[in-house]
Structure 1
Amino acid sequence: MPEEQEPNIETLPIEDRDFDDFIIVDPMGGVPAIYVYFQKASVRDLEVDYYGNFEGRSRQGLYEVDHIPSKEAVRIYLKGTYPNLKDDIIEQMTDRVAAVAIPIEVHRQCSETYGGKNNSKFRTQDGGLVTQKVLDASNLEAAVDANWDVNAECLRNEYGVSDEKIEEIRAKLHELNRKAGLY
């Protein structure tokens, strides 16, 4: 008969503080391993947060998450402002852009930036051509207002969202982008 052993508790530092699952193992072997899985809360209608915080959360087939300002405008801004930053760092930084969960139809039909709409070119005062995303990158704060105004119009007309709620979302978008150092 084997000798009885004291339980051995081992704690390892967990690097990823945002883990979704883990396995509990009985060191004595008397209880089978238990797999624990944490499901993140589903996205809520008109929820505002950093884009990266929506990752891994169910959109319930109802919502899409819209970067405001667009991810491309932010990427252009960051490359221009910090030319020595590596692409992978810039990619991480684009997850720290304010975003809002909106109905799929609003995102696809109304958003100024969905599906490459911000590749449209506009003539500048000096006669040159510039894409919407480059124009947005030149003033991210103004881009937030312009992008949100278009979505807000659809939300008011099609979903009856109040002006108060529209402005509350706008304020939160600006607050998050300021905290991220975008303006």
Structure 2
Amino acid sequence: MDIDHIPSRKALEVYIHLNFPEIDWHERRMILKRAPSIAIPSEVHRKFSETYGGRNHLSKKMKDAADLRLAVDSNFDAVKAGLLELGVGESDIETARSNLHELHTEQGWYQ
């Protein structure tokens, strides 16, 4: 299993830098450590994630940072295909998506 930050940790870092430039690196690091993520099979992460490895280009980070809620859905939709291929049920997948949105809302990333 891999821990997949949805959206990517780098997108959240860009979001903080653009919206809260007064936050120092130490506080930013602590915030990012608590950022919502999900455990998914490693092969799904590698094969389907929009942001795994070299796929998280600057333009993707900027796009995701501009709308975190949309980024969660986009990033989640990408791995959803792999989870469905593995036989994970649609309702379980959508519960996980809902939980991610709840965590982001609770942590103040968006409403």
Q: Distance in 1 between matches of 2:13 and 2:48?
A: 22
- List alignment gaps of at least 5 residues for structure 2: none
Structure 2 residue 74 is the aligned partner of structure 1 residue 136:
no
Residue 74 of structure 1 deviates from its aligned partner by 0.3
Give matches, 1:34-183, under 5 Å. 63-119=1-57, 131-157=59-85, 159-183=86-110
Q: Distance in 1 between matches of 2:100 and 2:91?
A: 14
Matched to 1:136, the amino acid is D
Matched to 2:64, the amino acid is D
Matched to 1:155, the amino acid is L
CA deviation vs aligned residue, 1:114-148 (integer Å, no higher than 9, x gap): 1131206xxxxxxxxxx101000000000000000
Q: Distance in 2 between matches of 1:90 and 1:148?
A: 24
Using the size of structure 2 for normalisation, the TM-score is: 0.95
Q: Distance in 1 between matches of 2:99 and 2:35?
A: 12
Any idea what SS the aligned residue of 1:66 has?
strand
Matched to 1:137, the amino acid is A
Q: Distance in 1 between matches of 2:65 and 2:26?
A: 19
The alignment covers a number of residue pairs equal to 110
Any idea what SS the aligned residue of 2:7 has?
coil
Any idea what SS the aligned residue of 2:56 has?
helix
Question: Whose relative contact order is higher, 1 or 2, with alpha carbons under 8 Å and at least 6 apart?
Answer: 2
Residue 162 of structure 1 deviates from its aligned partner by 1.0
CA-based RMSD of the aligned residues comes to 1.0
Using the size of structure 1 for normalisation, the TM-score is: 0.59
- List alignment gaps of at least 5 residues for structure 1: 1-62, 121-130
**Does structure 2 conserve the Cα–Cα contact (< 8 Å) formed by 1:69 and 1:97?**
no
Q: Distance in 1 between matches of 2:39 and 2:66?
A: 25
Q: State the percentage of identical aligned residues.
A: 40
Any idea what SS the aligned residue of 1:83 has?
coil
